């Protein structure tokens, strides 16, 4: 199971530090080079669609790593807050969560 989470980390995708709820929109905006408010508007419109959009957002929230490489689903399954190999697997520099600053 750890190899699955390491694969997610290696994609380079991170939740953005400019977050309101879970940081998913900020991460998408950062990865695609778009303004975060445009992504938030698109997601808000998509959330008006029945169930599917809510499920996709929930899956993204569970699987997308924070800036420090931790993945919420992995933390829930293993009970660990920080995987030991998160930095090595992600290849990115640690950035503290907004609430940790």
Does residue 99 fall inside a structural domain? no
Does residue 58 fall inside a structural domain? yes
In terms of residue numbers, what domain contains 41? 2-89
- Of the chain, the percentage scoring pLDDT greater than 90 comes to 6
Tell me, yes or no, if the pTM score tops 0.85: no
- Name the band, by pLDDT with cuts 50, 70 and 90, for residue 14: confident
Does residue 77 fall inside a structural domain? yes
How high is the pLDDT of residue 82? 57
- Name the band, by pLDDT with cuts 50, 70 and 90, for residue 28: confident
Q: How many domains does the chain have?
A: 1
Which residue carries 């993945």 as its tokens? Answer: 71
Longest dimension (CA), the chain: 39
17 compared with 89, residue with greater pLDDT? 17
How high is the pLDDT of residue 37? 93
**Helices (H), ranges, 14-66:** 24-32, 36-46, 52-63
């Amino acid at each position: 199971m750890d190899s699955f989470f390491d694969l997610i980390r290696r994609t380079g995708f991170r939740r953005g530090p400019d977050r309101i709820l879970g940081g998913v929109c900020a991460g998408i905006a950062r990865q695609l080079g778009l303004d975060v408010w445009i992504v938030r508007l698109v997601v808000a419109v998509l959330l008006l669609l029945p169930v599917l959009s809510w499920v996709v957002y929930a899956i993204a929230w569970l699987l997308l790593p924070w800036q420090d490489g931790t993945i919420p689903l992995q933390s829930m399954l293993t009970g660990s807050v920080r995987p030991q190999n998160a930095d090595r697997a992600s290849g990115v520099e640690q950035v503290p969560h907004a609430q940790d600053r």
